[in-house]
Amino acid sequence: MAEIVIIYTSETGMTKQYAKWISQELDSDCLILEEARAEDFLHADLIVFGAGIRGGRMRKLRSFHYKVKKSGWSGPVIYFATGGAPYDEQTVSDIIASSFHLPDGYSLPFFYFESGVNFEKMKGRSRAMMKMYKFIISVRKEKSEAAVGTRQALSKSYDHSRLDYIRPLIKEVQKMTST
Ligand SMILES: Cc1cc2nc3c(=O)[nH]c(=O)nc-3n(C[C@H](O)[C@H](O)[C@H](O)COP(=O)(O)O)c2cc1C
């Protein structure tokens, strides 16, 4: 049976929740990026890597790629990102474009899961950035549905995470590991 390892980074616990759901579903190890040692994932046939979105980009991709390259591991990676925005095809394409800088015509296995925002667990820098976003949005005074929705979303903590959202990723793992 193929060995799958989940590696994730999480500031407020949103990505951690999805990583745990995925690892339970696949019965696989689940490692924190910052703590993962090469010997913990060198045996993997496939790695699933997850992180939250900051300003439209996936966090810590560079750290992940650096760690994996340094370890000498090479194999397929499936990426997942969590964010406060609802799922939308254009949003997901934009996240992929900003995070990976892929040449035209290239794609990679990537899944986006709507999560939420947790102000209580945010660290100082994130909280300050959020305050700035809130300020910028409030001074624009836009009345569009999207602008009103964003203002509401940034007014207090919320969590729209759902176990069901991981199903397409699980299917992709099964497809990529079935021989
Ligand atoms: C400073 C900051 C910027 C964010 N930018 C985005 C964003 O551009 N798009 C989005 O969907 N969510 C955004 N979010 C929400 C996070 O991506 C979301 O809460 C994510 O699930 C956090 O995961 P983690 O706490 O496990 O790292 C932002 C959150 C913070 C704190």
Which two structure tokens, joined as six digits, stand for 14?
């949103």
DSSP string, 46-93: EEEEEEEEETTEETTHHHHHHHHHHHT----EEEEEEESSPP-HHHHH
Residues 31, 108 within the same domain: yes
Residue 127: half-sphere exposure toward Cβ, Cα within 13 Å:
10
Residue nearest to atom 31 of ligand 1 (CA): 126
Residue 71 has pLDDT above 70, yes or no: yes
**Residue 16 CA: which ligand 1 atom is closest?**
26
Domain span at 125: 119-156
Residue 130: pLDDT band with limits 50, 70, 90: confident
14 plus 81 within the same structural domain: yes
Atom of ligand 1 nearest to the CA of 59: 27
Residues 106 and 123 in one domain: no
Whether residues 94 and 144 share a domain: the answer is no
pLDDT of 83 strictly over 70: yes
Judgement on whether residues 112 and 123 belong to the same structural domain of the protein: no
Check pLDDT > 80 for residue 149.
no
Confidence (pLDDT) at 101: 87
Helix 124-140 with 145-153: angle, nearest 10 deg: 150
Q: How far is CA 113 from CA 70, 162, 168, in A?
A: 29, 8, 10
88 and 141 both lie in a single domain:
no
Q: At residue 146, does pLDDT exceed 70?
A: no
Residues 112 and 71 in one domain: yes
Domain CATH number, residue 41: 3.40.50.360
Is the pLDDT at 112 greater than 90? The verdict is yes
Same domain, 124 and 114: no
Q: What letter would DSSP give residue 41?
A: H
Mean pLDDT of 108-117: 96
Spatial CA neighbour of 161 closest among 127, 122, 112, 102: 112
Residue 145 in this model has a pLDDT that exceeds 80: no
- Kindly list the protein residues whose Cβ atom lies closer than 6 A to any atom of ligand 1: 10-16, 52-56, 82-85, 115-117, 122, 126, 129-130
Query: DSSP character for 4?
Result: E
Q: Give the C-alpha separation, 90 to 124, whole Å.
A: 30
Looking at the structure, tell me whether residues 13 and 68 fall in a common domain. yes
Task: Tell me, yes or no, whether 57 and 22 share the same domain.
Answer: yes
Ligand 1, atom nearest to 85 Cα? 11
What is the predicted pLDDT for the residue at 132? 82
Section 33-48 average pLDDT: 98
Report the separation in Å between the CA atom of 63 and the middle of ligand 1, taken as the mean of its atom positions. Answer: 18
137 and 168 part of one domain? no
- Domain co-membership, 37 together with 50: yes
- Predicted pLDDT of residue 128: 87
**Residue 133: what pLDDT?**
79
pLDDT at 148: 67
Q: Could you give the number of structural domains in the chain?
A: 2
**Cα(129)–Cα(147) distance, integer angstroms:** 18
Mode of pairing for the β-strands spanning 77-83 and 46-54:
parallel
Share of the chain above pLDDT 70, in %: 91
